[in-house]
Amino acid sequence: MGIKSIKDLDLKSKRVLIRVDFNVPLDENGNITDDSRIKAAMPTIQYAIDQGGKVILMSHLGRPKGKVNKAQSLIPVARKLSELLGTSVNMAPDCIGGEVKEMVDSLKPGEVLLLENLRFHIGEEKDDPEFARELASLGDVYVDDAFATAHRAAASIVGICRYIKEKAAGFLMQGEVNYINKAIREPKHPFAAVIGGAKISGKLEILENLIAKVDKMVIGGGMAFTFVKALGQDIGKSLVEDDLIGKAREIMEKAKANGVKFYLPVDCVCAPDAKATKGIETTTIQEIPSDLMGLDIGPASVTLFGEALAGCNTIVWNGPMGVFEQKDFAKGTFEIAKKIASSKGLTIVGGGDTDAALHESNLSDKVSFVSTAGGAFLEMLGGIELPGVKALES
């Protein structure tokens, strides 16, 4: 693809401008509740330090929409970085401007400066050329290690590449792109896709792209009921996108035409609603009571899906099998996580909810690769060219 690695750049004594994704969750006191995204960028940051680079980190946090919001400051991230790196990380008052340039100019090899939230400036999300140029003036080389934002044409991701000649991908970005490309471009067969979550509408591209590549397609979660209804079956109060029933039918017809084995749940755990603690029962998919809704796949579906995945050499998973945040509707997701984790093939998991379920199952280290991204992961699986990846191509 013509993308350089950070290892291809000479970083010694250079100002190394690294786009990271430190969009971490904060509690009401400003404490970081999940530092996994920070830890994911550590190999790239540490490498730049070890190579004698003057490291400048930039990220967004939240959606301040071009306005300064102290609650979305990256100050807590600077503290966490100092702790993880075992060295002081300076915090800039802004991401551009005279004071920031002075701080960058005073950096010594091996030192780290974190810029303030990029989205405090409206020019970031609008890919404003002047804002991108000002960011670019802070670095001699540019490294993008923020795959989770690669589907955004922002100034710090796309625009900046127009003004810095030396550019490359960090280790996290490289790993994401390489693993996903390996799955969708050169998969080892049998190749299975496990797709769940609430709705089809956010996953049309991924379904239509993968249906031409996979040998097996396993559908779970709320989105399964649109497919079930497309087959003419009653689904009680289960979630459905009536306007996409035709599209669901079309996808199943394409699967049949391509010789793809298409799996839907055969039973489900039902309840009056997602918060119910009473009136929960397991029924076949054809016998969902009219006053209940399907909220998880049932044990027979777990067995069916497990048998479908057995022996597959490539498995891609995005989307939970049910409302796993609720204990009574979590078993299906966790059981499928176990099935995928036990596979001897290439296993790639991505998407915020899916990632969370895998971590909660303590199985993250049992799969080949866990993507840090949600939207970017989905779009790349859907065959969509990501602006952040294209911008790095030489």
Residue located via tokens 């003057």: 54
Q: Which active-site residues does the annotation give? A: 37, 199, 352, 375
The closest alpha carbon to 173, from 6, 39, 50, belongs to: 6
With vertex at residue 374, the alpha carbon angle to CA 160 and CA 73, rounded to the nearest 5 degrees, is: 60
What is residue 15's three-state secondary structure? strand
Alpha-carbon gap, residue 125 to 44, rounded angstroms: 24
Q: Estimate to the nearest angstrom the gap between the alpha carbon of 363 and the chain centroid.
A: 17
Residue located via tokens 């391509």: 258
What is residue 28's three-state secondary structure? coil
The closest alpha carbon to 107, from 48, 60, 161, belongs to: 48
What is residue 346's three-state secondary structure? strand
Residues contacting residue 347 through CB under 8 Å, at least 6 positions apart: 314, 315, 317, 340, 341, 367, 368, 369
Q: How many CB atoms lie within 10 A of CB 360?
A: 15
The closest alpha carbon to 75, from 95, 91, 56, belongs to: 91
The closest alpha carbon to 58, from 162, 163, 132, 166, belongs to: 132
The sign of the torsion formed by the CA atoms of 350, 356, 361, 362 equals positive
In angstroms, what CA-CA distances link 19 with 65, 110, 166, 188?
A: 19, 17, 14, 33
